[in-house]
């Protein structure tokens, strides 16, 4: 009995110890969640510090801890463009903020339209006679577009600034697939619909090249015009037309070359930069670290300056990222999720609906589901306005068709009215290894589609016919929306991608402007007086749990990026992006996908988180039906 008693006491002790550990973990997690929430009490007089160590996005994605654990990669920080612009605008009119500082050392970009929106906000700060300063070890295209709006641009003496311009190469796998005896069966409509070319060709088609040259040429002209207007002293021709001679003339010293070309104003270390900011914003009385200055970070500043919620509500639904079937997102446009958000808002007495699109498209079925949900709001007889961000092409344009008016920036990318699907079959590879299919068929569709033995001509014909029918549906929706004939839409369709300026000329866009102009038009159409309404973004705000994970997981990643952001780090980043593109292309070939309205030509901003979805569109369901 004595021995049993001792065992019992040991078990009780273990139980009590585990209970104590779990309680400590629980309260630690609770404390972490509570402290992860930014507090207005953290706001101080001095500079507004925007330490943009990641990407600027239309809609911030939630961190999936399990996916992060499995991938072994730290997620990159994301900053919603509306939050950045709102913070800067509040800083322009608040006496507590004496300067705005952007640390772009780990900045990864975000697209021309977003850069223009942030740059315009910085101009408003300077118009309020407050200085704007930027610092970086290396400036790329997007960072330079922001820095052009600053009153002082600082560069680390060991860093540099390089302007590459839009464009580049992508990989084509046609010869590789042929060597592997993989038959990539392509079904498409659209002369310019080049999303399937990497699987069927070894190089870019003449039609795709024509489209790319026109698109990237327009984007490049807009970029140059914006930078020259914001920073007239910059010698862009020297930097972009003869870059090797420019660098060589400065003995390979990129920082000295940047000064000579007017890309930056001053060279200095992070400490020297901080000392300069301290002259403008005051020294940090809490921190004696060299180069410390008084500042307030983005999150506390936003907490101290919440969005207005008074008056009538104008709804805003965000369609950002690839459009996929299911509940994916935020950051990815899951058709079921977005349709659910729209349906939940039907009883919210919205006076108008703004559809903010920043998507290259994706699933036909998901795009149509979103379109139908928008039409249910239109049935309430409220204005429906589309505001295009960086990209609103293919499926991104499909969901825009219910709009009463479409707004876009000259740098917006739209169009890509076309449709495709690609399915790999392995009959040649199987035959090479001595595997052949044989059997009995009662109809031409028996046992089809057969990925190993190949498709029958009837299956090929059915699948191509369904693609052509989908394209006809696309044309009809655009024609009805834009008051054009189907023939007119087909002439500007065929998968061709347009910049916002050209899109307005050919009738795909109604008016230039960002989301502010779109909202003002919607409010006027709804009969709302100025300052009598507010924007209501559909969807839940990020949870405290997400804020905790983000602060825990993204800090080290941003520090790593900041410590290695010179020219060679930029080259390595391009290499990683190329490898990521290869993975995406292979996934697009091998995963089960339905009919796609997706724009391959559209340049996309760096993604902070790649979400893998398994679409179940009509095309995929048809294939599954045949396989039963």
Q: CA-CA distance, 135 to 156, in Å (whole number)?
A: 8
Q: Which of 337, 424, 324 is nearest to 364 (CA)?
A: 324
Q: Which of 309, 311, 281, 305 is nearest to 293 (CA)?
A: 281
- Of 105, 394, 416, 453, the active-site residue reads 394
Beta bridge partners of 161: 139
**Helix 335-344 × helix 364-378 angle, to 10°:** 10
Nearest-10 Cα torsion for 205, 207, 213, 214? -170
Please list, in sequence order, all residues whose beta carbon lies within 8 angstroms of the beta carbon of residue 493, skipping any fewer than 6 positions away.
190, 415, 417, 418, 471, 474, 475, 478
Beta bridge partners of 356: 318, 387
Q: CA-CA distance, 460 to 439, in Å (whole number)?
A: 19
Q: CA-CA distance, 207 to 191, in Å (whole number)?
A: 7
Its sign, for the CA torsion 160, 161, 165, 170, is positive
Which region, left, alpha or beta, applies to residue 326 given φ > 0 means left and ψ of -120 to 50 means alpha? left
394 is catalytic: yes
193 is catalytic: yes
The 3-class secondary structure across 241-286, one letter per residue, is HCHHHHHHCCCCCHHHHHHHCCCCCEECCHHHHHHHHHHHHCCCCC
Q: CA-CA distance, 143 to 578, in Å (whole number)?
A: 20
Residue 227 contacts residue 144 (beta carbons within 8 Å):
yes
Residues of 604-623 as b/e, b for ≥16 C-beta within 10 angstroms?
A: bbbbbbbbebebbbbbbebb
Q: CA-CA distance, 102 to 126, in Å (whole number)?
A: 14
As a 3-state breakdown, the chain gives helix, strand, coil percent values, each rounded to 5, of: 50, 20, 35
Q: Which of 65, 153, 62 is nearest to 103 (CA)?
A: 153
Beta bridge partners of 289: none
DSSP 215-249: HHHHHHHHHHHHHHHH-TT--HHHHHHSHHHHHHT
Its sign, for the CA torsion 398, 399, 404, 406, is negative
Cα distance between the two ends of the chain: 66
Cα angle for residues 375, 377, 383 (degrees, 5° grid): 100
Residue 79 contacts residue 57 (beta carbons within 8 Å):
yes
- Of 61, 105, 188, 193, the active-site residue reads 193
Nearest-10 Cα torsion for 620, 624, 627, 628? -170
Return the active site residues.
Answer: 193, 394
């Amino acid at each position: 009995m004595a021995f049993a008693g001792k065992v019992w006491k040991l078990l009780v002790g273990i139980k009590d110890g585990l209970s104590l550990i779990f309680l400590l973990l629980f309260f630690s997690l609770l404390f972490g969640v509570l402290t992860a929430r930014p507090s207005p009490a953290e706001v101080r007089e001095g500079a507004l510090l925007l330490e943009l160590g990641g990407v600027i996005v239309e809609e911030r994605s939630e961190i999936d801890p399990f996916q992060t654990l499995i991938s072994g990669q730290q997620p990159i920080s994301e900053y919603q463009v509306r939050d950045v612009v709102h913070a800067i605008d509040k800083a322009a009119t608040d006496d507590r903020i004496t300067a705005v500082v952007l640390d772009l050392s780990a900045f990864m970009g975000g697209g021309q339209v977003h850069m223009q929106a942030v740059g315009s906000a910085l101009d408003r700060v300077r118009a309020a006679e407050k200085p704007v300063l930027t610092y970086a070890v290396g400036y790329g295209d997007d960072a330079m577009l922001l820095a052009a709006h600053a009153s002082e641009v600082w560069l680390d003496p060991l860093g540099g600034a390089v302007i590459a311009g839009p464009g580049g190469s992508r990989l084509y796998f046609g010869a590789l697939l042929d060597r592997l005896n993989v038959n990539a069966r392509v079904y498409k409509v659209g002369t310019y619909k080049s999303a399937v070319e990497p699987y069927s060709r070894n190089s870019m088609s003449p039609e795709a090249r024509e489209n790319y040259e026109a698109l990237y040429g327009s984007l490049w002209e807009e970029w140059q015009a914006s930078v020259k207007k914001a920073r007239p002293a910059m010698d862009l021709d020297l930097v972009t037309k003869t870059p090797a001679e420019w660098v060589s003339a400065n003995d390979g010293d990129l920082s000295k070359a940047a000064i000579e070309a007017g890309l930056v104003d001053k060279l200095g270390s992070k400490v020297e930069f901080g000392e300069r900011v301290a002259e403008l914003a005051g020294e940090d009385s809490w921190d004696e670290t060299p180069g410390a200055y008084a500042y307030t970070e983005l999150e506390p500043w936003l907490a101290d300056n919440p969005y207005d919620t008074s008056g009538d509500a104008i709804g805003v639904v965000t369609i950002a990222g690839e459009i996929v079937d299911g509940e994916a997102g935020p950051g990815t446009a899951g058709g079921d999720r977005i349709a659910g958000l729209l349906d939940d808002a039907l009883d919210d007495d919205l006076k108008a609906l703004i559809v903010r699109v920043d998507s290259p498209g994706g699933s036909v079925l998901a795009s149509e589901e979103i379109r139908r949900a928008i039409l249910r709001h239109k049935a309430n007889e409220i204005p429906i306005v589309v505001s295009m961000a960086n990209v609103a092409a293919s499926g991104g344009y499909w969901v825009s068709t219910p709009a009463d008016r479409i707004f876009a920036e000259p740098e917006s990318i739209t169009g890509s009215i076309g449709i495709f699907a690609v399915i790999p079959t392995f009959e040649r590879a199987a035959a090479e290894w001595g595997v052949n299919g044989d059997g009995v068929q009662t109809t031409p569709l028996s046992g089809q589609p057969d990925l190993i033995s190949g498709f029958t001509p009837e299956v090929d014909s059915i699948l191509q016919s369904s693609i052509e029918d989908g394209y006809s549906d696309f044309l009809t929706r655009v024609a009805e929306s834009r008051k054009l004939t189907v023939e007119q839409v087909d002439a500007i369709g065929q998968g061709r991608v347009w910049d916002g300026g050209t899109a307005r000329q050919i009738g795909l866009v109604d008016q230039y402007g960002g989301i502010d102009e779109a909202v003002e038009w919607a409010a006027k159409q709804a009969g709302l007086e100025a300052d009598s309404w507010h924007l209501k973004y559909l969807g839940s705000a990020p949870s405290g749990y997400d804020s905790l994970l983000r602060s825990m997981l993204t800090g080290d990643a941003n520090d790593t990026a900041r410590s290695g952001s010179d020219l060679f780090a930029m080259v390595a980043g391009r290499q990683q992006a190329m490898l990521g593109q290869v993975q995406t292309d292979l996934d697009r070939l091998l995963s089960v996908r339905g009919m796609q309205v997706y724009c391959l030509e559209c340049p996309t901003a760096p993604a902070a988180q790649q979400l893998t979805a398994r679409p179940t569109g009509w095309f995929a369901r048809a294939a599954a039906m045949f396989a039963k």
